[in-house]
Amino acid sequence: MGVETMTGERIRESLDVAIIKPILDDLSLRLDRAGIYYRVFTRSKSLDSIKKKLEKKADQYRREGKKLQDIIGIRLVFYFLEDVEIVASHLREKSIRDSESNSIHDLREHEVDGIGGLADKIFMPSRLNLVFRMDDHATNELMCILKSCEDFIDRELVDNTYEVQLRTVLSEGWHEVEHDLRYKCKDEDWWIYCDQESRMLNGIYASLETSERTLGQLFAEISYKNYKQKDWEAMIRNHLRIKIQKDSLSPEVKKVLDESNKTAKFILKQEKKELLDCLFRATRPYPLSMENIVYLINEMQDEGEKNDRLSELLRGNARRETLIREILPKK
């Protein structure tokens, strides 16, 4: 990248293309291979925002040995509550820090005048944020972009880290409202006499969290009814809640499940995290067809538990066999 002087808009575009896009491509590849339902949002700080924050906190950063860390951010928004922790567990392997802002200590640390009473924080929403360090290439791109700013920016005060926030679709809407209409107004006096309403705003989040948990329970009940009715494709789809291809099980596979309650039951009881951990290990796409999922779950069982007839029916695809050996947990 050249060192031509860039305006604020060009700075933002360069951050999006040179840094955010490669990071996002990698994240999307992993989530797509696991079939997770999600949406993604990104943002990069404007030049004005960077300058204002550094002007405000430069002395503090130098005194405390800290740096500006949120120059770019990525938010992953999941359809289902359980996927937040599943993905966080996978991503933590490469993170340098994570924070779950839901402890009493954290609430006190983030008290705000006018909305700082602990009673106001009883329903404070939890936030799961992971911090990662850019690789050498992205770090060099960042420094080049900052060097080319039309206004001087002390690059020594800008860290080569970025944050990934994990949310659910229901909490995402609440966070957007709260951020724009409460957090950005935290220094305004009217919050002093609206502490009860502030607590109620947090209560709305608590009801959304309850709804998210209820949603998971609802699909668990649906999948159990599918199991009782021997509606195997519906059972698998509703139990796992991942993007499985719109295909069907063969009559032979259905017959095995019809005749073996034990096999159908271990598919119904398959832990979603264990299955997704296998899919995360894949270095190449494992096609998420209905029969591929059944085959993988069967092969994940201990030798005395797996259904040999099912293995015989579904074995034979050399590419799939190679992938299976690659992603199965070592026993």
The winner for highest mean pLDDT among 111-120, 171-180, 251-260, 309-318 is 251-260
Query: Whole-model pTM?
Result: 0.83
Q: Is the pLDDT of residue 277 over 90?
A: yes
In this predicted structure, what is the pLDDT of residue 99? Answer: 58
- Name the band, by pLDDT with cuts 50, 70 and 90, for residue 300: very high
Q: Is the pLDDT of residue 101 over 70?
A: no
Q: Is the pLDDT of residue 285 over 50?
A: yes
Token pair 């969290």 is found at 209
pLDDT over 70 percentage in the chain:
86
116 versus 210: the higher-pLDDT residue is: 210
210 versus 11: the higher-pLDDT residue is: 210
Mean pLDDT of 94-117: 45
Q: How far is CA 98 from CA 101, 128, 158, in A?
A: 10, 7, 19
57-62's contacts with Cβ under 8 Å and 24+ in sequence apart are 58/154, 58/157, 61/157, 62/157
In this predicted structure, what is the pLDDT of residue 1? Answer: 43
- Dump strand ranges (E) for the chain: 38-44, 72-78, 97-100, 128-133, 161-168
Where does residue 16 rank: exposed (0-12), middle (13-18), buried (19+ CB within 10 A)? middle
Q: Is the pLDDT of residue 307 over 90?
A: yes
In DSSP notation, 199-260 reads HHHHHHHHHHHHHHHHHHHHHHHHHHHHHHTT-HHHHHHHHH-S---S----HHHHHHHHH-
**CATH classification number, 8-204, choose in 3.90.850.10, 3.30.460.10, 2.40.50.140, 3.30.70.260:** 3.30.460.10
In this predicted structure, what is the pLDDT of residue 103? Answer: 33
Q: Is the pLDDT of residue 106 over 70?
A: no
- Name the band, by pLDDT with cuts 50, 70 and 90, for residue 105: very low
Q: Is the pLDDT of residue 3 over 50?
A: no
In this predicted structure, what is the pLDDT of residue 121? Answer: 44
Report the alpha-carbon distance of residue 194 to residue 182 in Å, rounded: 11
Mean pLDDT of 264-287: 93
In this predicted structure, what is the pLDDT of residue 230? Answer: 97
175 sits in which H/E element: helix 169-181
103 versus 28: the higher-pLDDT residue is: 28
In this predicted structure, what is the pLDDT of residue 86? Answer: 95
Hey, where are the domains in the chain? 8-204, 229-327
End-to-end CA separation in angstroms for the chain: 48
123 versus 284: the higher-pLDDT residue is: 284
Report the alpha-carbon distance of residue 300 to residue 311 in Å, rounded: 11
